[in-house]
Amino acid sequence: MNRSGSWRDRLRHIRMPPQPGPVRQRELALDLPLEPQLGQETHRGVGASLARLGGGAVDLLGRALPSVGEKPEDEALRLLGGHLPSRPGRHRVADPRPPHQAVGRRQQAFPSSVVRGAVAHDAPAFPPRLVLLFGVLSVGVSAILIRYVDPDIPSVTIAFYRLFLTLVILSPITFTRYRREFARLSGRDLLVALGIGVMLAIHFAAWIESLFHTTVASSVIIVSLESILAALAAAVFFGERLGMRALMFILLAFSGVVLLAVGDLSADPQGRFQDPLYGDLLAFIGAVAAAVYLVGGRRMRQRLHLLPYVVIVYWMCAVVLLAIALGQGAPLSGFAAADWGLFLLMALFPTIGGHTLFNWCLRYLPAATVSTAILGEPLIASLLAALLFTEVPGPLGVVGGILALIGILGVVRGQHPSPAIDSAAEGAALGPSGRP
What is the dihedral angle through the alpha carbons of 213, 214, 216, 218, rounded to the nearest 10 degrees? -140
- The whole-number pLDDT of residue 407 equals 92
- In this prediction, residues 286-306 reach a mean pLDDT of 87
One-letter amino acid of 368? A
- In this prediction, residues 304-325 reach a mean pLDDT of 93
- In this prediction, residues 8-32 reach a mean pLDDT of 45
- The whole-number pLDDT of residue 140 equals 94
pTM given for the model: 0.70
User: Taking phi first (over 0 means left), then psi (-120 to 50 degrees means alpha), and beta for anything else, what does residue 434 get?
Assistant: left
One-letter amino acid of 407? G
- The whole-number pLDDT of residue 120 equals 55
Better-predicted residue by pLDDT, 338 or 56: 338
Indicate the average pLDDT of the chain.
75
The β-bridge partners of 91 are: 32
Decide if pLDDT at 367 tops 50.
yes
Burial class (CB in 10 A: 0-12, 13-18, 19+), 16: buried
Most confident of 116-130, 196-210, 299-313: 196-210
CA atoms in the 13 A half-sphere facing the CB of 98: 14
Decide if pLDDT at 237 tops 60.
yes
Better-predicted residue by pLDDT, 424 or 148: 148
Give, in order, the Cα–Cα distances in Å from 315 to each of 162, 302, 319, 343, 393: 12, 19, 6, 17, 37
- The whole-number pLDDT of residue 238 equals 81
The β-bridge partners of 191 are: none
- The whole-number pLDDT of residue 362 equals 78
Better-predicted residue by pLDDT, 6 or 328: 328
pLDDT digits (tens, 9 = 90+) for 250-270: 999 999 999 998 888 776 656
The pairing of beta strand 27-32 with beta strand 91-94: antiparallel
Better-predicted residue by pLDDT, 105 or 194: 194
Q: How confident is the model at residue 411 (pLDDT cuts 50, 70, 90)?
A: confident
> Comparing C-alpha atoms, which of 311, 277, 355, 323 is closest to residue 156?
323
Better-predicted residue by pLDDT, 41 or 8: 8
* Max CA separation in the chain (angstroms): 96
> Comparing C-alpha atoms, which of 217, 202, 197, 199 is closest to residue 143?
217
Better-predicted residue by pLDDT, 165 or 394: 165
Residue count (the chain): 436
Decide if pLDDT at 100 tops 60.
no
- DSSP class of residue 411? H
For CA atoms 240, 245, 248, 254, give the dihedral sign.
negative
| Whole-angstrom distance, CA of residue 182 vs CA of residue 170 | 14
For the residues of 194-259, what is the DSSP string, one character each? HHHHHHHHHHHHHHHHHTTTS-HHHHHHHHTTHHHHHHHHHHHHH-----HHHHHHHHHHHHHHHH
**What percent of the chain lies above the pLDDT cut of 90?**
44
> Comparing C-alpha atoms, which of 386, 399, 408 is closest to residue 260?
399
Decide if pLDDT at 46 tops 60.
no
How many angstroms from the chain centroid is the CA of residue 331?
Answer: 33
- The whole-number pLDDT of residue 268 equals 65
pLDDT digits (tens, 9 = 90+) for 74-92: 433 333 334 444 444 444 4
Task: Please provide the distance, in angstroms rounded to a whole number, between the alpha carbons at the two ends of the chain.
Answer: 68
Decide if pLDDT at 356 tops 80.
no
Range in 109-123, 247-261, 359-373 with the lowest mean pLDDT: 109-123
- The whole-number pLDDT of residue 435 equals 47
- In this prediction, residues 135-139 reach a mean pLDDT of 93
The residue ranges of every structural domain in the chain are 7-98, 128-430
